[in-house]
Amino acid sequence: MKDVQRIAIVDPSDATREELRQVLLGMDSLWLEAECTRYEFFFDVISQSSPDVVIVSLDSDQNKALQLIGQLTQVNPDLPVLAVSAKGDGNAILQALRSGAKEFLTVPVVIEDLLKALQRLRSLGHGLRPGPNGGPGYETNGKGGAATPKQQVIAVLGSRGGVGCTSIAVNLGATLAQQANHSAALVDLDLALGDADVALDLMADYTLADVALNVERLDMQFLRRSLSKHSCGLSLLPHPVQMEDIRLIREDSLQRVIGLLR
Number of domains in the chain: 2
In a domain, 135, yes or no: no
pLDDT of residue 150: 56
CATH code, 240: 3.40.50.300
SS3 89: coil
Q: Is the pLDDT of residue 234 over 60?
A: yes
pLDDT of residue 3: 65
pLDDT of residue 140: 42
* Gap between the Cα atoms of 58 and 259, Å rounded: 30
Mean pLDDT calculated for residue range 65-73 = 95
pLDDT of residue 172: 93
* Gap between the Cα atoms of 52 and 4, Å rounded: 9
Q: At what angle do helices 90-99 and 62-75 cross, to 10 degrees?
A: 30
For residue 46, give its domain range. Answer: 5-123
Mean pLDDT calculated for residue range 202-207 = 89
- Contacts of 28 by beta carbon, 8 Å cutoff, 6+ apart: 2, 4, 252, 255, 256, 259
pLDDT of residue 246: 87
Q: Is the pLDDT of residue 63 over 90?
A: yes
pLDDT of residue 126: 56
CATH code, 85: 3.40.50.2300
Residue with the larger pLDDT of the pair 14 and 124: 14
